[in-house]
Structure 1
Amino acid sequence: MNHFIFRAIEKKSLNLLISKVKFSSSTLGEYQPIFHGAKDTKNFRIYYQKNNQMISPFHDIPLFSNKDEKILNMVVEIPRHSHAKMEINKKEYLNPISQDIKKDKLRYINNIYPYYGYIWNYGAFPQTYDDPDHVDETTGCIGDNDPLDAIELGTNKQNRGAVIQVKVLGALGLIDEGEADWKVLTIDINDKLAPELNDISDVESKLPGVLEATRDWFKHYKIPNGKPANKFAMNGRFFDRDFSLKIIEKSFNAWVNLVQEKENKKAISLVNTSLENLNTVSDQNARQKLEEIFTDADILNSKSEKNLTEVEKIYYIDRSKNY
């Protein structure tokens, strides 16, 4: 597998230890993911650089790739049909992508019949934030304290860590354990179906079944873990593109307020290399800080914690029950 790896050798020099990943130009673009450690371990991280400068995928990648045409950047955390629950790490320095941990174990999504892993490419919009201090008007719930989630519906499986340019189609208002957790549906602008998909009303004719499968997946995916079924705003209605862009705008404004806070009360790392605010650091300082974090043990002593038997298990959900 082609990837970047950081190793701690001879003063832990990052510049000596980066070997380029071979993504195609359509999926790599100007943002280069840097893979650190071994996948399926607690040490695995994906950092980013642009023009040889370290960046935060949360703060330094702009929300819009082309604002006039409303084309957005999406950070792909989880490729279609994979299971590892990866996400932008809000608390760590430069916000790398890491695998979620629960009860000291790495999180993997269950297979709920007839689905296998995540059924779309899943990720987040940079420079967005769902503020838990504010109540979302549509769902009546507080924000989930995360960047805004994005789902890419196209015909291709994306690379983990890729930054792709997407067109917004619609949104689903998930209520996850009492929190507003909007899922914005998108299409990669380079997908062969992109010219034919411009709004939520176009989706069913070109991608039959995907909307119902999306609603069904989000409703039931936590049931194998003993959790109740999730609920939705407006009984699971899919909102159109215009409404979705307003949700994105609100989330962007919440992020602006977040990075401008003089006192960070949410334990979120606001470190960046481009915003020119109180939390901005130079590329040199960012690299020096990361060099202090990296150790030989991250790579040499890491063993996969993935239990393949558990990950491949199929769960059958009785959808006639009122969970």
Structure 2
Amino acid sequence: MSLRLGAVQLLCRKMSTFSTVQRGAEATESFRLFFRNGNGAAISPFHDIPLLNDPDKHVFNMVCEVPRFSNAKMEMATKEPLNPIKQDIKKGKLRYVANVFPYHGYLWNYGAIPQTWEDPGHKDARTECNGDNDPIDVCEIGHRIGKRGDVIAVKLLGALAMIDEGETDWKIICIDVNDPLAEKLNDVADVEREMPGLLDATVRWFRVYKMPDGKPENKFAFNDEFQSAEFARSVVMETHEQWKALVNKQTSSELAISNTCLGNESSVDSEKADSTVSAAAETGPSAPISASVDTWRYC
């Protein structure tokens, strides 16, 4: 199965500089962060940002949804046109991850690899669980605290197979190729050598982060062990194929697949894409955040 690349998509591949446009107000349900390419055209971070930054060197693109040490659970709005980043909502409330002692917020720059999708109709033979219906998640472990909406060139170092409420929810460990440690890190063993304790902390964080909300601890395949960089690349490429099936309408889904670069029947012109951004709520000042977000929780 292949996805045809029209002239428009080839142009988008050359537009490696991306920017964001905020609509609505932070810490409210109205907040949306839209993306534009180097030409200023509105795009979907889910569908229009290329999977690969440098195919010859196995360098991938990552969209940063949650900067390290922050608590707001932000994610691409996969069911909305152009898939802006928004804050997740559960039971009518904005979601914040708890500070489970001794961790504050997320341990890494957290986000997703564009043009990937974990198909909920596909059972992974290795985990015996279906996908979680989202782009594949990544944890960028470099020294720089990213910004929401950053598009970061990363190399993959390993994979953790988390089972979240019966669904496969891969967590890919990666590092910014421009990080000072990037040359020394090529696989999970290198991470343990250069950044001792980080992988163990990552497993524990994912195991317990929902427990303060009354959820059971998460489980993992492969005896809680990280898999290799080669394994991680194979998982990402599998989810890329599942994404191709999604945008080519070869699988049924309620997700929004409008785009400006793929040159398929779901593509929209720049005028319609701009109207989607303009129709979102007016930009406003951030709302106050409850002090309870900074509370320590113990598990």
Q: Is the TM-score greater than 0.5?
A: yes
Relative distance call for 1:303 and 1:66 in structure 2 (3 A) is closer
> Which runs of structure 1 show a deviation greater than 4 angstroms over 4 or more consecutive aligned residues?
none
What is the CA-CA distance between 1:303 and the residue it aligns to? 6.0
Whole-angstrom CA distance in 2 between matches of 1:126 and 1:166? 12
C-alpha separation in 1, matches of 2:235 and 2:47: 18
Matches of 2:79 and 2:298 in 1, distance apart? Answer: 36
Return the alpha-carbon distance in structure 2 between the equivalents of residues 36 and 189 of structure 1: 30
The aligned amino acid for 2:289 is K
- CA RMSD, 1 decimal: 1.5
Paired with 1:142 and 1:203, the residues of 2 have a C-alpha distance of 29
The aligned residue for residue 72 of structure 2 is: 84
Residue 287 of structure 1 is matched in structure 2 by 274
Letter in 1 for 2:223: N
For the pair 1:194 / 2:176, whether they are aligned, the reply is no
Q: Percent identity?
A: 46
SS in 2 for 1:217: helix
Give the aligned partner of residue 229 of structure 1: 217
User: Which residue of structure 2 aligns with residue 37 of structure 1?
Assistant: 24
> Equivalent residues in 2 for 1:1-323 (5 A)?
30-50=17-37, 51-261=39-249, 265-291=252-278, 293-295=279-281, 298-300=282-284, 304=287, 306-307=289-290, 309-317=291-299
Number of paired residues?
Answer: 284
Contact 2:246/2:253 (8 A) holds in 1: no
Instruction: State the Cα distance separating 1:305 from its structure 2 match.
Output: 5.7
Relative contact order: is structure 1 or structure 2 higher (C-alpha 8 Å, sep ≥ 6)? 2
* Amino acid of the structure 2 residue aligned with 1:82: S
1:34 deviates by 1.3
Structure 2: unaligned runs, 5 residues or longer: 1-14
Q: Distance in 2 between matches of 1:31 and 1:214?
A: 29
Cα distance in 2 between the residues matched to 1:142 and 1:313: 34
User: C-alpha distance in 1, partners of 2:186/2:266?
Assistant: 38
AA aligned opposite 1:312:
D
Shift, 1:261, TM fit: 0.6
**Distance in 2 between residues matched to 1:184 and 1:111, nearest whole Å:** 22
Q: Which amino acid aligns with 1:314?
A: W
**Structure 2: distance between partners of 1:169 and 1:54:** 31
AA matched with 1:225? D
Question: In structure 2, how many angstroms separate the alpha carbons of the residues matched to 1:170 and 1:151?
Answer: 10
Q: TM-score under structure 2 normalisation?
A: 0.92
Matches of 2:202 and 2:40 in 1, distance apart?
38
Alpha-carbon separation, structure 2, partners of 1:123 and 1:216: 19
Q: Deviations over 1:35-59 (max 9, x none)?
A: 1122111111111111111110000
Letter in 1 for 2:194: K
SS in 1 for 2:163: strand
Letter in 1 for 2:27: D
Q: For each residue in 1:141-169, what CA deviation from the matched residue of structure 2 results, as whole angstroms up to 9, or x when unmatched?
A: 00000000011011111111100000000
* Contact residue 106 and residue 305 of structure 1 kept, 8 A: no
3-state SS, counterpart of residue 68 of structure 1:
helix
Unaligned runs of 5+ in 1: 1-27, 318-323
Question: How far off is 1:285 after superposition?
Answer: 1.7
TM-score by length of 1: 0.85
Contact persistence 1:41–1:305 (CA under 8 A) = no
